[in-house]
Amino acid sequence: MICPHCHQDGSRVIDSRPSDDGTFIRRRRECPHCGTRFTTFERYEETPLLVVKKNGTRQQFDRKKILNGLVRSAEKRPVSIDQLTKIANDVENKVRSLGENEVSSAVIGQYVMDELKDVDEISYIRFASVYRQFKDVGAFMNELETMIKQNKSDSEKTKKK
């Protein structure tokens, strides 16, 4: 593996661990030339998966795009990168478990929102506002009202137990 700092080849593995769900291995490495430590991830190669966008175009599924969107939505929020990475991994696993070669971007976006809602509601609203392309304050308020109703029904169910 080439060092991202000095670009020398021949880093050594210091630590390896499988992910919780077993879909990848996280490796801590150290460069013998400059001493820089960095992390790599090893995952099995998947069959190509195409995302069908709203306008009908198709592009290859990219987990990094999901993670980047999550990072932007959780900016300045108390959400760790580990939580965001777990969401991205969970969404990818759900999409791949569908067994389809093509998946709608709407399905992927809904999976992301379902996962994010349980982690941080503000990040969820930020993500939803971009994903659903809220046209005005009314659309934004409708989403907030839906969340408030859901929270009330969840708390009532908890009280009944």
**Is residue 93 predicted with pLDDT exceeding 80?**
yes
- The Cα 87–Cα 137 span in angstroms is 28
- Same domain for 65 and 144, yes or no, is yes
CATH number at residue 26: 2.20.25
Question: Mean pLDDT throughout 142-160?
Answer: 73
Asked if residue 159 is part of any domain, the answer here is: no
Give the predicted TM-score (pTM) of the model.
Answer: 0.63
- Same domain for 36 and 69, yes or no, is no
DSSP β-bridge partners for residue 37: 30
Domain coverage including residue 22: 1-45
- Same domain for 84 and 137, yes or no, is yes
- The Cα 29–Cα 19 span in angstroms is 17
- Same domain for 20 and 63, yes or no, is no
Pairwise pLDDT comparison (139 vs 97), residue with the higher score: 97
Mean pLDDT of the chain: 87
Provide the pLDDT for residue 160: 66
Pairwise pLDDT comparison (20 vs 111), residue with the higher score: 111
Domain count, the chain: 2
- Same domain for 21 and 61, yes or no, is no
With bands split at pLDDT 50, 70 and 90, how would you rate the model's confidence at 91? very high
Asked if residue 3 is part of any domain, the answer here is: yes
Helix ranges, the chain (H)? 63-73, 81-97, 105-119, 121-131, 137-160
- Same domain for 17 and 60, yes or no, is no
- Same domain for 126 and 68, yes or no, is yes
- Same domain for 57 and 38, yes or no, is no
Q: Per-residue pLDDT tens for 98-114?
A: 989 999 998 999 999 99
Asked if residue 67 is part of any domain, the answer here is: yes
- Same domain for 24 and 77, yes or no, is no
Give the β-pairing of 37-43 and 24-30: antiparallel
- Same domain for 123 and 52, yes or no, is yes
- Same domain for 51 and 74, yes or no, is yes
- Same domain for 18 and 68, yes or no, is no
Asked if residue 60 is part of any domain, the answer here is: yes
